[in-house]
Structures are given as C-alpha cells and as structure tokens.
Amino acid sequence: MNLFNELKKGLEKTRKGFTEKIEQLVSFSTKIDEEFLEELEAVLIYADVGLRTTEKIMNNVRQGVKDKKINSPADIKPFLKSEISSLLGRDLIRTKISGLPTVILVVGVNGVGKTTTIGKLGQYYQRFGYKIMFAAADTFRAAAGEQLEIWAQRVNADIIRHEEGSDPAAVAYDALQAAKSRNTDILIIDTAGRLHTKSNLMEELKKIYRIISREISEAPHETLLVLDATTGQNAMNQAQLFSQAANVSGVVLTKLDGTAKGGVIVAIKSELEIPVKWIGIGEKADDLRPFQPNEFVEALFDDK
C-alpha cells in the first residue's frame, strides 16, 4: 500500500462521517434550499470543523449559490474541497534543522500519546542521519522516563533524565548543556502531561520555556502541542490555553485514524492560526508523518 492509500485508510472514519455524508446529502437532493444548507451545516459541525469555521464556510457556500458558482447539489463537493484547501493552505511546513542543537519542546495533556510521539519523531529524524537526544523532563508520571529510555535505545538516541519527582526545569537545563557539548543535532524535550486547567503546572511550563530561551536565545526552535484527534473540540480548547503558556508553533494530531472528527485539523488552522505539522494515523512508527495539506484534502475527498 502506497503512502497516499495509507493516509486514505487512516482517514476512513472521517471520510464516512464527512465526505460520504455529503455525497449522501447530494444524491438525495434535487435543489439547494434552506433544508439542504442546514443539513450540510450539520455535517460540518459533526466532523468538528468548528463553529466559526463552519459559519465561514456556509457563508461562502451561500455566496457561491448567489453568484451562480454553485448551481446544483452536485457542485457542493468540489466547492467544499476548494474551500478547505484554501483554509489549510498548500505548503508543508517543516521544522528547520539548523544550529547545534535544534530544540523541540513537546507539550500536551495526559493520555494524548506525547512520549510515544517523541519516540516516533526521534526515529523519523534518525533516518536522515541526525544525532538525536531526548530529555525526560516529565518527572511526575511514573515510568515516563523509562518509557522514553526504551525509545532512546530503539532509535539510538542519547537521553538525559533525573530521578522521579526532580525539577523538570533542571532536566531541561542539563539536557541543553549535554546537547551542546555532544554536538547533538536535535534535542527533543518531553514535559509532564499537565492539565491545562492547572495554573501551577502551566507556570512550570513557562519556567522550562524561560530556561531554554536563556541558554539558547532562539530556542525552542519548535514547540509542538500533541493533541488527541478523538477529543474533537476539546482539542481546540487545549490548543488555545497551551498557546497562552508557551509559543506553540505547531500541532501533532494523534489518533486521527480512530475518529470521525478529523475536521478539527481545519478548525485549528482556521480559528487558532496554528498549523498542524504532524499527524498520527496508526500505531506503527511510520504512521506518524509530516502533515501535507494538499495530500490530506485529496485523501479526504478521493472517491476512488
């Protein structure tokens, strides 16, 4: 199975909850009236495209009908494909690997697959010959350090970790010093899966951020927020709050294969202006891949 077909398979639940519902709506409709538009709006909301984004799309649909760009229900699908492409943009936004080290800070709540994501990121970059280091700054969760150490062994990465309960900022500091002295290409820092509603934990995240930027003025070069796609609009709330505590530069959306709510990708980009940079569409290491907007839209709307 080629990469495109694997992506299409990973989006199967979203396709059934979104694209196929649009196709059903179109096939049972003879004209575009208010009832048709209300049902289309419901499909968008169910797919977690987001209320504001749905409103924006529906306004454009109504304008398209008025301007005769949409003349029948059959015109809706290509129109929506164009709208979503426009909202997502067409460019793949990669992390620039430059300087020694490039620092990637990884944040998110418990249970989203943060540590596993770090391991898979390490494996991805290791294939290109980069020297990788992990920092186990999640010192609160039992076995978090052990889990990251297993990944470090698997991908031949260095790892810096302290005892459970240690100061996470101290782990980050030590990792930065070690990464610089060992000429590490990429330092990926794990953080505790803090609840975004706990202000003390969010303050700790700000402290880690300050230490990183103090030691390397332009770092972290990337702050990736890991979100669980199955949580839909709750992921949007997390993204909004985490962006206030740290300069979130991109989102990793995991478990996309397990939800019909993949439309949250569109909402994150459109409403929060934070690009989705990585998506997880399965359990295998290769199933974490750079997000390519054009490929995503093609896979979502492909009817072959």
Specify whether 277 is located in the same domain as 208: yes
| Same-domain status, 84 and 111 | no
CATH code for the domain in which residue 262 is found: 3.40.50.300
Q: Could you give the number of structural domains in the chain?
A: 2
Return the pLDDT at 1.
56
281 and 216 inside one domain: yes
Which residue segment(s) compose the domain that 285 sits in?
Answer: 102-291
Q: Tens of pLDDT along the chain (304 residues)?
A: 577 888 888 889 888 888 889 999 999 998 999 999 999 999 999 888 989 999 999 999 999 999 999 999 999 999 999 999 999 987 777 788 887 899 999 999 888 889 999 999 999 999 999 999 999 998 887 788 899 999 999 999 999 999 888 899 999 999 999 999 999 999 999 998 766 566 777 788 888 999 999 999 889 999 999 999 888 878 888 888 888 777 899 999 999 888 888 888 998 888 888 889 999 988 887 889 999 999 999 988 887 6
Where is the domain boundary, 88, 111, 146? 88
pLDDT attached to residue 197: 60
Q: Among 26, 53, 88, where does a domain finish?
A: 88
End-of-domain residue from the set 88, 115, 139: 88
Residue-level pLDDT at 195: 63
Q: What is the 3-state secondary structure (H, E, C) of the chain?
A: CCHHHHHHHHCHHHHHHCHHHHHHHHHCCCCCCHHHHHHHHHHHHHCCCCHHHHHHHHHHHHHHHHCCCCCCHHHHHHHHHHHHHHHHCCCCCCCCCCCCCEEEEEECCCCCCHHHHHHHHHHHHHCCCCCEEEEEECCCCCCHHHHHHHHHHHHCCEEECCCCCCCHHHHHHHHHHHHHHCCCCEEEEEECCCCCCCHHHHHHHHHHHHHHHHHCCCCCCEEEEEEEHHHCHHHHHHHHHHHHHCCCCEEEEECHHHCCCCCHHHHHHHHHCCCEEEEECCCCHHHEEECCHHHHHHHHHCCC
CATH number where 66 lies: 1.20.120.140
